[in-house]
Amino acid sequence: MARLELRNITRRFGDFVAVDDVSLTIESGEFFTLLGPSGCGKTTILRMIAGFDLPDAGQVLLDGRDLADTPPEKRSIHTVFQNFALFPHMTVAQNVAFPLKMARRPEAEIRGMLGDALEQVHLADKANAYPSELSGGQKQRVALARSLVNRPHLLLLDEPLGSLDAKLREEMQVELINLQRDVGITFVFVTHAQVEALALSHRIAVMDSGRVVQVDEPARLYSSPRNRFVADFIGNINQLNAQVTESSHGHLRLAVAGLGEIIAPPRQGVSVGEYGVYAIRPEQVRIGVHDEVSELKNHFDGVVQSLLFQGDVSVYKVALANGAMVEALLPNSASGRAQLFEVGDRVKLGWRHDAGMFLNE
């Protein structure tokens, strides 16, 4: 259990600034995720927390103690590597017992802790197997057991689910959540997969080009992205170029060229005349031909351009009068109420006045 603090961390590689003045506080027992596209600096941050790399400026503090002079082997921080990095010449038991041996724990204690750790990841029957005899999911669990066996203060996970297939990845996500809750150790998770981040984390830091753009809980990150990058990176979102024509406490009035007016929820720091985008999630867009869509404050005519049937939902791409494409999501379970459309159908799109948001960044 430990509180990790990054204070104004900067790391440069030549002219390239990999991490640019990042400050984060990760609370004890938290499942915290660094999310961003590849090359955004998230792995560099992880390596600096683990001690494999040192910041050019700034501090890494664990429970208030500066780690600058503590080498990786002396930090009570363990990493689960992307390729698991299991020792191929050691059995599962030898792999998991490795950190205990390094810490020179007494043999009896090692046996007990090893048994518990293998039990926890359901691998007691694989103790004498070699890593090459294990499946991807089993390797993953060995790597987790090895990193958790001597109760580190902090566990770092570097895209550990990246090499697993989709179904296994989902299973491991559930296991990770349960494991983290059981052991109560602070997890710092690095990924570029937003679905994974949303499903696992207590809080997420979205990174772009070495900077932290937004730190929030998954739901807030999804509903209130701070700028266009976050909105675009987390889930799908429709974007329409818009200009503010009226800003009041109750709402924003936006003008969209060639389309008309949109009523949007209010936003602080927005002034009349400003350009930006109006962004709305596909599941907030209603699609239909009836008046119920026309009754909404925002509604427009369009033509269905494409239709993607995905089983649980259908995704419609609709071209509006100004040529902009808007995606609308229609749950197929609601087929009794909703109507299925074909490509080329004239439809009405609409959404509530308090849906979506205006983004000027």
Kindly list the residues in this chain that would bind another protein in the complex (CB under 8 A): 50, 52, 71-74, 77-79, 81, 83, 85-89, 98-99, 102-103, 130-133, 146-147, 150
Closer residue to another protein in complex, CB, 96/318: 96
CB of 210 to another protein, least distance (A): 22
Q: Which is nearer to another protein, 73 or 291 (CB)?
A: 73
Kindly tell me which of 132 and 310 has the beta carbon lying closer to another protein.
132
At its nearest, how many Å lie between another protein and the CB of residue 78? Answer: 6
Q: Which residue in this structure is represented by tokens 């459309």?
A: 341
Distances (CA, A) of 92 to 87, 126, 149, 359: 9, 7, 13, 51
CB nearer to another protein: pick between 15 and 73 = 73
- The least distance separating another protein from the CB of residue 47, rounded to whole angstroms, comes to 9
C-beta separation of 145 from 96 below 8 A: yes
Smaller CB separation from another protein, 139 or 317 = 139
Q: CB of 99: closest distance to another protein in angstroms? A: 4
Nearer to another protein, 78 or 192 (CB): 78
- Taking the complex as a whole, the smallest distance from the CB of residue 294 to another protein amounts, in Å, to 59
Query: Considering beta carbons, is residue 143 or 279 the nearer one to another protein?
Result: 143
Contacts of 78 (CB under 8 A, 6+ apart): 99, 146, 147, 148, 152, 154, 155, 156
The phi-psi region of residue 108 (left if phi > 0; otherwise alpha if psi is between -120 and 50; otherwise beta) is alpha
Report how far residue 78's alpha carbon sits from residue 298's, in angstroms, rounded to the nearest whole number: 51
CB of 25 vs another protein, minimal distance in Å: 23
Query: Closest approach of Cβ 261 to another protein, in Å?
Result: 56
Judge contact between 78 and 99, C-beta under 8 A.
Answer: yes
Shortest gap between Cβ of 167 and another protein (angstroms)? Answer: 26
In the bound state with another protein, the residue whose beta carbon lies nearer, of 183 and 296, is 183
